[in-house]
Amino acid sequence: MWPRDRSSKECEVLFDSLRKWKSLDRFSVGFLRRLSAFAYLEELGDGVTLYRKGDRGTSWYLILSGEIAAIPYRDQNEAVS
């Protein structure tokens, strides 16, 4: 569900969920409220690239399940083995 389609009750449920995450306990209540208003769930398959070297990061990801790898590259197209 996109944030613009979320009700205030749904934002509150998401906020309550975010407050339970130990890794987020250093963030203020205000930040978590704003995050709950703008965040959305995105399911990604295996091998999806989130960022490439030199990309400007415009998103912040919270990994709920699975794993992520940071793979160094010689340039933007050639992987280091």
CATH number, domain containing residue 14: 1.10.8
In a domain, 76, yes or no: no
Number of domains in the chain: 1
Instruction: Quote the pLDDT of residue 61.
Output: 83
Is residue 79 a part of any domain in this protein? no
Please list, in sequence order, all residues whose beta carbon lies within 8 angstroms of the beta carbon of residue 5, skipping any fewer than 6 positions away: none
Question: Residue 72 domain-assigned?
Answer: no
- Whether residue 16 lies inside any domain: the answer is yes
Q: Which of 43, 42, 34, 37 is nearest to 10 (CA)?
A: 37
Q: What is the pLDDT along the chain (81 residues), one digit of tens a residue?
A: 677 778 888 888 889 989 998 989 999 999 999 988 888 778 888 888 888 878 888 888 888 888 888 887 766 666 544
Tell me, yes or no, whether 28 lies in a domain.
yes
Q: Model pTM?
A: 0.58
Six-digit token pair at 23? 């890794």
Q: Which domain holds residue 32?
A: 3-38
In a domain, 45, yes or no: no
CA angle at residue 79 from 78 to 81, to 5 degrees?
135
22 inside domain = yes
